[in-house]
Amino acid sequence: MSCVICLEGGATHVCECSLFHVHCFSNYLLRNGQQQDCSICYSRFDRAMLSAASSISFARTQDVFGPTHGTTLVRKLELASALANSGCLSEAKRLFEEIIAAFPEPPWLVTVSKVELARTLRDSGEIRAACDVLEGLVPCLARATAIWAHYEHVEACTLLGACYMSLGRLDQAERNLFFAMDNHLKNEHCQTKKVVQCMRHIANYYEARSDFALARETHRVALSIVEAEEYDPARIALANLHLANAEMQVGAVPLAATRFRGAILALRRRKHDGYALEALPDARRKLASLIRPSKRLRAKTCPEDC
Ligand SMILES: [Zn+2]
Ligand SMILES: [Zn+2]
């Protein structure tokens, strides 16, 4: 398989459409800026390739500028985020903490590192530690006037709301999540992905309050935003899965089964998208629980083929 940069063989898929060698992918990212998605097929870049390429970019930048230069620290932040996305949480935490301890310029580096450290702590189950980081950060960001501080404030409140949800502190979760959503709605330049993520936390909040109809409605609106704004078929299918789960909870079985089938068929086609493949087993299990295919049929086919 040929690399799209050097045309030599032995390359690996980084998305649905393109293959790279890891060094060539690192050059591509350095030239075009760290991106999460392919600009041709719109699928997310492979997480392992992204962190391997970010590691090379960081090492090369450190060789040129030294370990304390702002550019090196920006590369370090990109590497830490890529590692966190690919599941290397303790390594990511160590890098975020090193950036924070370096008191770097520009100041947004510390703030973004703290928000991402909190996200990584939450993902590794250290909810209380994530809350401590965010509770220290949010009051400072509320007083800051820079535009980037406003965006990080909204993101920090979204994460803090999600952490309070995990701790069962629903009133505090509600305050933070709805503050974040209000701010998204006031901003015409808000990022779709962050709005949708915030809506999913709000849907979880409604579920925790046993208001399943409102949770379903929230997922329905989130899906319509994803369908209007996103080109990535996997993200649209994943949003359909969230809504199908909510439909299952309110007993809308035929609707949920149809939605599961459509989403699974779309995800099956995304052979090089780890996010899509990761979601398949649970979706198949849930669809099978809805349609209960016969044992003989189950042995021969996937539930979505029934
Ligand atoms: Zn190559
Ligand atoms: Zn692509």
pLDDT in tens, 21-74: 999 999 999 998 888 899 999 999 999 999 999 999 999 999 999 999 999 999
Phi, psi of 240 (to 5 degrees): -65, -35
Q: Read off the pLDDT of residues 272-298 as tens digits, 9 standing for 90 and up.
A: 999 999 999 999 999 999 987 666 666
Which listed ligand is nearest to 25 at the C-alpha?
Answer: 1
CA nearest neighbour of 288 among 303, 267, 266: 303
Which listed ligand is nearest to 233 at the C-alpha?
Answer: 2
- Ligand 1 centroid vs 22 CA: distance in angstroms? 7
Which listed ligand is nearest to 2 at the C-alpha?
Answer: 1
Q: Read off the pLDDT of residues 111-153 as tens digits, 9 standing for 90 and up.
A: 999 999 999 999 999 999 999 999 999 999 999 989 899 999 9
- Ligand 2 centroid vs 21 CA: distance in angstroms? 14
Alpha helices by DSSP H, the chain: 22-32, 47-65, 70-85, 89-101, 108-123, 127-143, 147-166, 170-186, 192-208, 212-229, 233-249, 253-268, 274-291, 295-300
pLDDT at 240 over 90: yes
Phi, psi of 217 (to 5 degrees): -65, -40
Q: pTM to 2 decimals?
A: 0.90
Which listed ligand is nearest to 273 at the C-alpha?
Answer: 2
- Ligand 2 centroid vs 234 CA: distance in angstroms? 13
**At a CB cut-off of 8 Å and minimum separation 6, what does 175 contact?**
161
Cβ proximity of 72 and 52 under 8 Å: no
In the structure, ligand 1 is a single-atom ion and the residues with CB under 5 Å from it are 3, 5-6, 21, 24
Domains and CATH numbers, the chain: 191-306 (1.25.40.10)
